[in-house]
């Protein structure tokens, strides 16, 4: 008989609806039951694309004997971390403090008041490789709760105090200056693997925000090594097994130091952030490799990760038929059976397909042994283009990894930014349409009055939005305005940013929190400012407020952005690799914005040519305002006195609201943008 999770919409929770475990979703009902029955809570947090989450379910949560232990001794709560990043952040900090490491599945034991006192990640069903079996853990925790209650209460109080400290950083006297950026660059450079790209060692994570910072640092300082680090990393990732050479898109991360063997899940956020990074690197270098990666990745998102309404799904699983990576790997025999002999020989030779294999006896397509060479790359690429359709047709007959088709506001915001930028840089209207459809879907389906909601699935939207939902979506709206010049996107961004400040900015502590001021009471109010797989909500909020302050000439927004950077300064200076987006904010703060105003009918070819010229090269920290005669711009001081020149579409390039002479011609605009006037 299905448990309570059968009433949920999260694909991850629904995966557990037939477990013999008496699961609750996180709810007042579950917390009340724990207090009434005086039972500890077993909190299990994961996500649908998580390989080890599936393993623990098969081994333990589907085991009738283990389920009896869980049901008799605990109130069992299952949480999708993607729906509830607040709970994930709080209890991940607790487990990292207890065990010295974290990950998913996250297994945490709580008092009925929600205070953590013990935890870990994956537990096997029996003692294995130095790990205690899950039944042994359950019995030990249950006995301790019954017989050592006082010690557990005391330990949980200390642990809560400890994780509260993670939300507070000491005041910093350091100024926001070029020296901070320079020191951060030197720290990052010391950790870079210049043979294989990325940071030294394994596993290797993409961490796009770091390389965005290095690109901006290169453009501002003309430091060649900054660019070399970026291109080495992007070349190696694009050639590695972390990239799906057949279907496009990046897997989550590499388990080794050479980008060969990934964890095979694909996340919307990774692909959104990497598309933007490869786009910007393409603007700087002109490499076809980077352009191809963008086009193939966005084709994958449109094909496999887009709902009929135009919003973007969350992730795809690592497993199919319970076997990780099975969908993506090949044997020599399979390739030879599908392709003609000459083409099969070329594919197996170039893409490292051998009888020995490189992953559990089979082969992940990769170019790891190759160094990027333009002519050689073109030859290899032409070969793959000939083989792609028959290989994809064959692959599509396999059992496909499950797609988590819930729609998250924050992650859609990231992908909206990617499609919007790609539309103008690569001159592709399909991309613009994709960005606009997703944005319209969020505005029409995930708004309650002037507030964003977190998640949508099966016609149901729920959960108040978090800081990252506002910040990432506002950034997507700003990118849409800058790439279409349509003022409606900018107006939505302004309105939502004001709501964001009201809900998440704390005037007493002068910092952003991840949950709104009226969020449910939890053991702490979470504030995770580190830029990890995705930027933090706080750093992205800072980034968008820096831009909006220019649009609006708003000192309050400037002050909030500055105070945010100052509050993060201990992290930025001690661990710059965990502060990539904060460093991008510092680049904006010290370099200042390049303000570009384009006045003209948005559908006029002259207007479009001027806008395309802005994106012909990588211009960091730009703020683009589009104006025409159909809308009012009284709220935007940047629009003042920006009249058309000679009745033609006109561009202005400004710094601190002081502008060069207006221009009509793209060539003249390029000179203004590159200071060649």
Question: What are the pLDDT digits (tens) for 447-473?
Answer: 998 899 999 999 999 999 999 999 999
Q: What is the mean pLDDT of the chain?
A: 96
- Average pLDDT rounded to a whole number, residues 205-223: 96
* CA 125 to centroid of chain Cα atoms: 33
Phi/psi for 9 (5° steps) reads -105, -20
Task: State the pairing for strand pair 650-655/594-599.
Answer: antiparallel
- For Cα atoms 406, 407, 409, give the angle at the middle one, nearest 5 degrees: 145
SS3 assignment, position 559: helix
Confidence of residue 24 (pLDDT cuts 50, 70, 90): very high
Confidence of residue 167 (pLDDT cuts 50, 70, 90): confident
426-445 per-position pLDDT tens digit: 999 999 999 999 999 999 99
Confidence of residue 380 (pLDDT cuts 50, 70, 90): very high
Burial per residue of 627-641, b for 16 or more beta-carbon CB atoms within 10 angstroms, e otherwise = bbeeeebeebebbee
Share of the chain above pLDDT 70, in %: 99
Taking residues 60-85, what's their average pLDDT? 98
Q: Which CATH number fits domain 4-165: 3.40.30.10, 3.30.70.3270, 3.30.300.20, 3.40.50.2300?
A: 3.40.30.10
- Concatenated DSSP letters of 489-540: HHHHHHHHHHHHHHHHEETTTTEE-SS-TTSPP-SS-------SSS--HHHH
Using the predicted structure, report yes or no on whether residue 676 has a pLDDT greater than 70: no
In this structure, the strands spanning 75-80 and 41-46 are parallel
Quick one: CATH architecture of 594-673?
Answer: 3-Layer(aba) Sandwich (3.40)
Whether omega for the bond prior to residue 427 falls within 30 degrees of 0, making it cis, is no
| Residue from 203, 261, 199, 259 nearest 229 by CA | 199
Tens digit of pLDDT for each residue in 35-59? Answer: 999 999 999 999 999 989 999 999 9
pLDDT digits (tens, 9 = 90+) for 629-644: 777 788 899 999 999 9
Q: Contact 25/242 with Cβ under 8 angstroms?
A: no
Please state, for a pLDDT cut of 90, what percent of the chain lies above it.
93
Q: What is the pLDDT of residues 93-152, one digit of tens each?
A: 999 999 888 999 999 999 999 999 999 999 999 999 889 999 999 999 999 999 999 999
Pairwise CA distance, residues 209 & 575, whole Å: 14
Give the pair of three-digit tokens for residue 49.
Answer: 């694309």
Identify which of 124, 135, 104, 139 has the alpha carbon closest to the alpha carbon of residue 56.
124
Q: Is the dihedral of CA 370, 374, 379, 385 positive or negative?
A: positive
> Which run of H or of E encompasses 626?
strand 622-627
**pLDDT level of residue 242 (50, 70, 90 thresholds):** very high
Q: Strands, E, within 398-441: which ranges? A: 403-404, 407-408
Instruction: List, in sequence order, every residue forming a beta bridge with 567; answer none if it has no partner.
Output: none
Which of the four pLDDT bands, split at 50, 70 and 90, describes residue 652? very high
- CA–CA distance, 307 with 313 (Å, rounded to integer): 7
d(CA 548, CA 475): 10
pLDDT at 168 over 90: no
| Segments of 196-339 assigned E as strands | 253-254, 262-263, 266-267, 315-316, 319-320, 323-324, 329-330
Contact between residue 480 and residue 435 where contact means Cβ atoms under 8 Å apart: yes
User: With contact defined as beta carbons under 8 Å apart, do 274 and 250 qualify?
Assistant: yes
Q: Tens digits of per-residue pLDDT, 554-602?
A: 999 999 999 999 999 999 999 999 999 999 999 999 999 999 999 999 9
pLDDT at 460: 95
pLDDT over 60 at 677, yes or no: no
Q: Which CATH class is domain 178-320+404-591?
A: mainly alpha
**Which region holds residue 71: left if phi is over 0, alpha if psi is between -120 and 50, else beta?**
alpha
Report domain extents, the chain. 4-165, 178-320+404-591, 328-397, 594-673
- Of the candidates 495, 494, 421, 486, the one whose C-alpha atom is nearest the C-alpha of residue 625 is 486
Q: Where are the alpha helices (DSSP H) in 505-646?
A: 537-552, 555-574, 580-591, 605-614
| Same-fold call for 4-165 versus 178-320+404-591 | no
Contacts from 198-202 at CB under 8 Å and sequence distance 24+? 198/233, 198/236, 198/237, 198/254, 198/259, 199/577, 200/257, 201/257, 202/254, 202/255, 202/256, 202/257
């Amino acid at each position: 008989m299905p448990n309570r999770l059968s009433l949920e919409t999260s694909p991850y929770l629904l995966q557990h609806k037939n477990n013999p475990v008496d699961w609750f979703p996180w709810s007042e009902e579950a917390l009340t039951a724990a207090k009434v029955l005086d039972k500890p809570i077993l909190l299990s947090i994961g996500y649908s694309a998580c390989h080890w989450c599936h393993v623990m379910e098969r081994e333990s949560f589907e085991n009738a004997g283990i389920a009896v232990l869980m049901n008799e001794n605990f109130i069992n709560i299952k949480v999708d971390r993607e729906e509830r990043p607040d709970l994930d952040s709080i209890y991940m900090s607790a487990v990292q403090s207890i065990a010295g490491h974290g990950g998913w599945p996250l297994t945490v034991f709580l008092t009925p008041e929600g205070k953590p006192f013990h935890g870990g990640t994956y537990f096997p069903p029996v003692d294995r490789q130095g790990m205690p079996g899950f039944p042994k853990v359950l019995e030990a925790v249950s006995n301790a709760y019954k017989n050592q209650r006082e010690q557990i209460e005391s330990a949980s109080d200390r642990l809560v105090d400890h994780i509260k400290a993670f939300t507070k950083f000491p005041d910093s006297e350091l100024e926001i200056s070029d020296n901070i950026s320079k020191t951060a660059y030197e720290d990052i450079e010391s950790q870079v693997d210049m043979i294989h790209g990325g940071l030294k060692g394994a596993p290797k994570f993409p961490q796009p925000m770091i390389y965005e910072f290095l690109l901006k640092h290169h453009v501002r300082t003309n430091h060649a090594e900054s660019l070399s680090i970026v291109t080495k990393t992007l070349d190696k990732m694009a050639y590695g097994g972390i990239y799906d050479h057949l279907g496009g898109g990046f897997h989550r991360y590499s388990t080794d130091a050479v980008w060969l063997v990934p964890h095979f899940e694909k996340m919307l956020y990774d692909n959104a952030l990497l598309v933007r990074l490869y786009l910007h690197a393409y603007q700087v270098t002109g490499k076809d490799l980077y352009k191809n990666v963008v086009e193939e990745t966005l084709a994958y998102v449109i094909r496999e990760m887009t709902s009929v309404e135009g919003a973007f799904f969350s992730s795809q699983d690592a497993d199919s038929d319970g076997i990780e990576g099975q969908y993506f790997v090949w044997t020599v025999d399979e390739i030879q059976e599908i392709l003609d002999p000459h083409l099969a020989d070329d594919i197996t030779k170039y893409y490292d397909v051998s009888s020995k294999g490189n992953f559990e006896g089979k082969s992940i397509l990769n170019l790891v042994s190759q160094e990027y060479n333009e002519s050689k790359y073109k030859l290899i690429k032409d070969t793959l283009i000939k083989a792609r359709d028959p290989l994809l047709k064959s692959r599509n007959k396999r059992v496909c990894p499950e797609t988590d088709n819930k729609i998250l506001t924050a992650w859609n915001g990231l992908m909206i930014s990617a499609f919007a930028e790609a539309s103008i840089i690569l001159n592709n209207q399909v991309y613009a349409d994709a960005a606009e459809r997703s944005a319209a879907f969020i505005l029409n389906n995930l708004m309650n009055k002037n507030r964003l909601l977190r998640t949508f699935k099966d016609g149901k939207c729920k959960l108040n939005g978090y800081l990252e939902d506002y910040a990432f979506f506002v950034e997507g709206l700003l990118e849409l305005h800058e790439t279409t010049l349509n003022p409606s996107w900018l107006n939505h961004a302004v309105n939502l940013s004001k709501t964001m400040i009201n809900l998440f900015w704390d005037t007493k502590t002068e910092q952003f929190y991840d949950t709104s001021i009226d969020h449910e009471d939890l053991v702490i109010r979470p504030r995770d400012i580190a830029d990890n797989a995705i930027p933090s909500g706080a750093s992205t909020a800072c980034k968008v407020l820096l831009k909006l302050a220019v649009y609006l000439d708003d000192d309050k927004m400037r002050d909030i952005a500055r105070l945010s950077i100052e509050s993060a300064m201990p992290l930025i200076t001690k661990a710059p690799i965990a502060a990539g987006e904060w460093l991008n904010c510092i680049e904006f703060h010290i370099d200042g914005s390049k303000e570009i105003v384009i006045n003209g009918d948005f559908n006029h070819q002259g207007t479009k040519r001027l806008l395309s010229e802005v994106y012909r090269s990588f211009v960091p920290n730009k703020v683009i305002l589009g104006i025409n005669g159909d809308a009012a711009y009284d709220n935007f001081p940047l629009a003042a006195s920006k009249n058309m020149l000679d009745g033609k579409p006109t561009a202005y390039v400004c710094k601190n609201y002081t502008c060069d002479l207006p221009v009509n011609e793209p060539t003249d605009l390029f000179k203004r943008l590159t200071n060649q006037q």
